[in-house]
Amino acid sequence: MAMLSVGDIRKKLFAQRRDLFRQVAQTEDELLWLETDVESEAQERGQGERMVQLLDRLDERMKSEIEAIDRALVKLETGRFGRCEQCGKDIPHSRLEALPAAATCVVCAEAGEAQTALRK
């Protein structure tokens, strides 16, 4: 399997971000803007009137996903993408292909899920 380039990962992250915003877009104009302006500075930095309107319509789960994607984009730009935020180990490429915004390796993610299950 060919490794994704940084550009490919960036495109996947923006596609995930755009797909979340498509779910709350209310007009053809907003949908067109998402298609043509998805990697613009306004989208990257979450600014602009359209972006604010879309952000306001997201539910908490979607906002959390957008924040994870934005963190992954920052890590990608600063060369820290692909490292677990908890243990610091490399996140396997197969996990990043499936979940480009993954912030933890499988071991840390499973440990976190186990802790959550124990608290319930």
Tokens 């060369």 — which residue? 79
95-101: which pairs have CB atoms within 8 A and are 24 or more residues apart?
A: 96/4, 96/9, 97/4, 100/9, 100/12, 100/13, 100/16, 100/69, 100/72, 101/13, 101/16, 101/65, 101/68, 101/69, 101/71, 101/72
Decide if 40 is inside a domain. Answer: yes
Kindly report the CATH number assigned to the domain that includes residue 14. Answer: 1.20.120.910
- C-alpha to C-alpha distance for 35 and 90, rounded to whole angstroms: 32
Q: What is the pLDDT of residue 61?
A: 92
Average pLDDT, the chain: 80
Instruction: Indicate if the pLDDT at residue 54 is higher than 80.
Output: yes
In a domain, 26, yes or no: yes
Please check whether residue 20 lies inside any domain of the structure. yes
1 within some domain:
no
User: Is residue 105 one of the residues assigned to a domain?
Assistant: yes
Residue 44 pLDDT exceeds 70: no
Model confidence pLDDT, tens digit, residues 81-92: 888 888 988 888
How far apart CA 88 and CA 40 sit, in angstroms, is 31
Within a domain: residue 74?
yes
Tell me the average pLDDT across 38-43: 52
Give me the DSSP letters along 50-96.
Answer: HHHHHHHH--HHHHHHHHHHHHHHHHHHTT-TTB-TTT-PBPPHHHH
- The answer, yes or no, to whether residue 45 has pLDDT greater than 70, is no
**Does residue 111 lie within any of the structural domains?**
yes
In the chain, the number of structural domains is 1
Q: pLDDT at position 46, please?
A: 47
The pLDDT value recorded for residue 104 is 86
Percent of the chain with pLDDT over 70: 88
Looking at residue 47, what is its pLDDT?
A: 54
**pLDDT tens sequence across 92-103:** 878 877 777 788
pLDDT for 5 beyond 70: yes
End-to-end CA distance of the chain: 39
Find the domain containing 59 and state its range.
6-119
Q: Is position 28 within any domain?
A: yes
